[in-house]
Structure 1
Amino acid sequence: MNHHVLVPLGLVLLTGCLVPWLVVRSRWAQQAPRLALGVWAACGAVFAGAAALLPAQMVLTRESSHRLTDMALTLRPPGPGRLLALDGRETLALSLALAVLAVPAGAFVRRLARARRVRVRHAGVLRLVGRYDPALRATVLDDERPAVYCLPGRSRRVVVTSGAVHTLTPDQLAAALAHERAHITGRHHLLVAAAEAFAAAFPRLPLARHGGGAVPLLLEMAADDRALRRCTRDALATALYALASGRAPRSAFAAGGPSAALRMRRILMPHSAGHPVLRGLFTIAAAAFAMTPLIVACCAFPR
């Protein structure tokens, strides 16, 4: 076996299996959700790149394989002249790599397009039955059930039911609105689409299986943290309690929902911000350190 296969194979196992297993069982992830989301996103990107390199390395000659490893480790893409000078085997390797990348990329584009169609249809309905409130900077929908949700993307808007306006205090309503605007500002729908795309493309992969459930919850917690910059913990927690039974349409983010109880406990439970981040960084460093022997071996072997 070509020894340069070891680097992409190690990265596939590391980012597809080991790191997701560590993160999903860690306590620091929910205390530092943005760091955890960065880890999930990095694992997805590195896994896709390594999975594309793996079949390419298997068909390349030793010299071309070493050159590809050097380019991958130094993040130096080939120039146009090098691409035009590819021989038959190198063209096959490039085709295999692009075919592997096309699987999650195609699933991601399909998820985005499908979610956008749903949001556009719902936005059209809101223009007919809802009314814009300039004081709230949100669309008010006549419904006795308290709910606050947002439509991200190009159809971005925050929606509040009349039941939520009557049920929540001004501070609670402001907290719920800040939570929803955090989803829109952070473009959280892109990460949700990426997690769903990986789950569809690699259903048995631990990265996809664990990430599909962890990423939406972490996004809600990240939006909670951003909302807490403008409101108190009590206001946000009580708003979540009042909106826990509220529902939102597909492809929308709701302030309440099934994760409300867990997020309320997290908001009201004081914790140190420094230690979770340090533990998360230690997990990342340990995973990166595990790749060092493979990288050294591939660079040290003769060409």
Structure 2
Amino acid sequence: MMVPAALLLLGVLTALGAPRLLARTEWPDREPVVALWVWQCVVGAVLLCFALSMLLSASAAWQAVRGRLFAPAPHGVVEAYGLGAGGPWAAGTAVVLAAGALWTGKMLAGEVLRARSRRRQRRADLLVKAPLLPGEDPAGSRLVVLEAPRAGAWWLSGPAPRLVVTTAALRRLKGDQLNAVLAHEQGHAVARHDWLLHCSGALADGFPQVPVFEAFRSEVHRLVEMAADDAASRRYGRLTIALALVELNEDRGVFGPCGHPHHHVPQRVRRLLSAPARLPAVRRLRLTAAAALVPAVPLLVAFVPGLSALS
């Protein structure tokens, strides 16, 4: 019963310590794509710790589960885990972790369904405000111009993805700024940032007391925008996308002294104008490889007793 407890402890320590450790680093703003990968690996490791602990706890509590999980394994492997001495705590731990797994699945499914519903509603509203012309192919144009007094531009995902730009934005955006905005939104679509946002939101809403999930949601919202900014700036330059951000958000009060839902926009503009140097390729590779090893730790903890018994 030591292995399920070790996995549970490892998951708790990672959930508590990883956000504090990553908050002390300065490189994520320079490499948002790598930072997103690191956060995904950390969250994946936490979920893997709890999932493996649930399976082993259930095996310790119930012979039927143990028989199915360890069916192909030699008898010595089962003895190496000491599952027969689980005691009354094994069943309770397994039930609590299984309930958490079911709640996670419910929150993720609910988030996907709500996102689809919002997307259908937005597409229906767009057709009302900007109806198709006679003979126009609904899947043809990727750009929709919407009459509106406020500058705005957003990507509408779906079977026929569209970039929606308001007429106020067209009046403000000059030169390649519109192309830079299009490249920014396409960066979101290509990297499937919407899935990251949905998953992080579902985990944070489902487990509001778990620091790693709330930090994951906060960082994902910030990092995906920086990653899309970098994708656009590689084609049109940092100054172009920075000016486009200013033009799109100037009349929203984003750059004022008070708090604002889009408070990350000034930070993004400063980052684009200061042009921080990227990390060396070797360090990026080391960070990527180190992050990939994080989910391997719970797997190592879970399989070492069995592998030791086989050897």
Structure-1-length-normalised TM-score = 0.75
Specify which of 174, 187, 194 is matched with residue 189 of structure 1. 194
How many residues are paired up? 275
Aligned to 2:49: 50
Deviations 1:91-112 (A, max 9, x none): 9998876543222222111112
Is the deviation greater in 265-274 or in 191-200? 265-274
Aligned-partner Cα distance in 1 for 2:302–2:17: 18
- The offset of 1:282, in angstroms, is 8.2
Deviations 1:35-74 (A, max 9, x none): 1111222222222222122233234339987x969x9xxx
Aligned to 2:75: none
Aligned to 2:123: 123
Instruction: Note the aligned Cα RMSD (angstroms).
Output: 3.8
Aligned-partner Cα distance in 2 for 1:223–1:25: 24
Q: Which amino acid aligns with 2:8?
A: L
CA contact (8 A) 2:41 2:291 kept: no
Aligned to 1:112: 112
1:177-256, aligned counterparts within 5 Å?
177-245=182-250
Aligned to 1:27: 26
CA contact (8 A) 1:3 1:298 kept: no
Aligned-partner Cα distance in 2 for 1:68–1:164: 59
CA contact (8 A) 2:200 2:216 kept: yes
CA contact (8 A) 1:49 1:101 kept: no
- The offset of 1:183, in angstroms, is 1.2
1:1-303, aligned counterparts within 5 Å?
2-61=1-60, 99-130=99-130, 137-154=142-159, 156-245=161-250, 257-275=262-280, 277=284, 280-281=287-288, 284=291, 298=305
Q: Note closer, same or farther for the CA distance 1:60–1:281 as it changes in structure 2 (3 Å cut).
A: same
Q: Which amino acid aligns with 1:52?
A: A
- The offset of 1:125, in angstroms, is 1.3
SS of alignment partner, residue 169 of structure 1? coil
SS of alignment partner, residue 203 of structure 1? coil
Aligned-partner Cα distance in 1 for 2:15–2:97: 17
5+ residue gaps, structure 2, are: 73-89, 253-260
SS of alignment partner, residue 271 of structure 1? coil
Q: Which amino acid aligns with 2:167?
A: S
CA contact (8 A) 1:140 1:159 kept: yes
SS of alignment partner, residue 234 of structure 2? coil
Q: Note closer, same or farther for the CA distance 1:186–1:168 as it changes in structure 2 (3 Å cut).
A: same
Deviations 1:73-120 (A, max 9, x none): xxxxxxxxxxxxxxxxx9999887654322222211111211221121
SS of alignment partner, residue 176 of structure 2? helix
Aligned to 1:253: none
Q: Note closer, same or farther for the CA distance 1:293–1:142 as it changes in structure 2 (3 Å cut).
A: closer
Aligned to 1:251: none
Identity of paired residues, percent?
A: 28
Structure-2-length-normalised TM-score = 0.73
Aligned-partner Cα distance in 2 for 1:290–1:157: 42
Aligned-partner Cα distance in 1 for 2:35–2:231: 15
SS of alignment partner, residue 236 of structure 2? coil
Is the deviation greater in 197-206 or in 262-271? 262-271
Q: Which amino acid aligns with 2:155?
A: C
- The offset of 1:161, in angstroms, is 0.5
- The offset of 1:288, in angstroms, is 7.3
SS of alignment partner, residue 274 of structure 1? coil
Aligned-partner Cα distance in 2 for 1:195–1:212: 5
- The offset of 1:139, in angstroms, is 0.9
Aligned-partner Cα distance in 2 for 1:265–1:16: 31
Q: Note closer, same or farther for the CA distance 1:210–1:96 as it changes in structure 2 (3 Å cut).
A: closer
Is the deviation greater in 269-278 or in 258-267? 269-278
SS of alignment partner, residue 230 of structure 1? helix
